[in-house]
Amino acid sequence: MPHIPFGVDMDLLSGALHNPAHHLVRKASDMRGYYADANALDALIRTGNDPLHYEVFEAPIPRESGDLMVCISALQPGRVGEECFMTKGHYHTIARTAEVYLCLRGEGLMLMKTAGGDCAVETMARGRMVYVPPGWAHRSVNTGPEPLVCFCVYPADAGHNYGDIEVQGFPKRVIRKNGDIQLLETAL
Ligand code: PAN
Ligand code: ZN
């Protein structure tokens, strides 16, 4: 791909980018193993017609050192049992790479952890930026009734490493119970 300047149009409400180079779609069935209540996820897949969980639209940028990947994502509202819809979460393969999330719509939480056992949580809301430093795995969680739409920028060669997250998850789970958002400590 040649390195020439370009512009793209985005729909900041739905969280879409026109003519994306990549369009990642994750449905409920792609999230097996991630939620505490596997039966509730199975029920959602069967009776809810395997609903959309989240989408990520990436701009046409080479995954090369020196480039910045730009994407927009939309995480749907909903719950699996009591647990709020969330992304899989990942480390960057190149650990020294950070990421900026600018929230454009909705409400949520960003869960972050390091391989050394540190954990952090930041709120996400329209107009709020969350900075994910190098070495921190990150997962976004939609705690509200609308799609959680974010604009993200990170080094284009960073790569995604789902590492231990698929097995161990994060030290906290986010649930909505009786209308309240609660953070539950998990036994890692
Ligand atoms: C984001 C994420 C996006 C999807 O663009 O890739 O929110 O999350 P998962 O990759 O964990 O499924 C990002 O953090 N990129 O580096
Ligand atoms: Zn990332």
HSE-up (13 A, CA, CB side) for residue 17: 23
Name the phi and psi angles at 134, rounded to 5. -55, 140
Query: What is the distance in A from the centroid of ligand 1 to the CA of 178?
Result: 29
CA of 5 to the centre of ligand 1 (A): 24
How remote is the CA of residue 7 from the centroid of ligand 2, in Å? 22
**Residue length of the chain:** 188
How confident is the model at residue 27, as a pLDDT? 98
CA 28 to ligand 2 center in whole angstroms:
20
- 116 lies in a domain? yes
Domain extent, residue 62, equals 10-185
Q: What's the half-sphere exposure (Cβ side, CA atoms, 13 Å) at 179?
A: 0
Q: So what's the pLDDT on residue 1?
A: 53
With respect to residue 3, please indicate whether it lies within any of the assigned structural domains: no
Average pLDDT over the chain, rounded to whole? 96
181 closest CA partner among 136, 149, 151, 145: 145
Q: Is the pLDDT of residue 188 over 60?
A: no
| Residue owning the nearest CA to atom 13 of ligand 1 | 152
What spatial distance separates the first Cα and last Cα of the chain, rounded to whole Å?
43
Q: Has residue 169 been placed in a domain?
A: yes
| Residue tagged 């779609």 (tokens) | 25
Whether 141 is in a domain gets the answer: yes
Give the number of domains in the chain: 1
Q: In terms of pTM, does the model score above 0.85?
A: yes
Q: Is residue 40 in a domain?
A: yes
Q: Which amino acid is at 15?
A: G
pLDDT tens figures, 122-180: 999 999 999 999 999 999 999 999 999 999 999 999 999 998 898 889 999 999 999 99
27 C-beta closer than 6 A to ligand 1: no
Of 72, 51, 69, the C-alpha closest to 60 is 69
The answer to whether the CB of 104 is under 6 A from ligand 1 is no
CATH number, domain with residue 162: 2.60.120.10
Q: Does 4 map to a domain?
A: no
Pairing between β-strand 22-27 and β-strand 52-58 as defined by DSSP bridges: antiparallel
If you measure from the C-alpha of residue 12 to the centroid of ligand 1, how many angstroms do you get, rounded to a whole number? 17
Whole-angstrom distance, CA of residue 43 vs CA of residue 38? 9
User: What atom of ligand 1 comes closest to residue 158's alpha carbon?
Assistant: 16
Local confidence band at 2 (pLDDT 50, 70, 90 cut-offs): low
In a domain, 28, yes or no: yes
Q: Tell me the pLDDT tens digit for each residue of 58-98.
A: 999 999 999 999 999 999 999 999 999 999 999 999 999 99
Element (H, E) at 149: strand 148-155
Ligand 1 within 6 A of CB of 87: yes
Q: Do the Cβ atoms of 79 and 24 come closer than 8 Å?
A: no
- Point out the ligand 1 atom lying closest to the alpha carbon of residue 54: 4
Q: Is residue 113 part of a domain?
A: yes
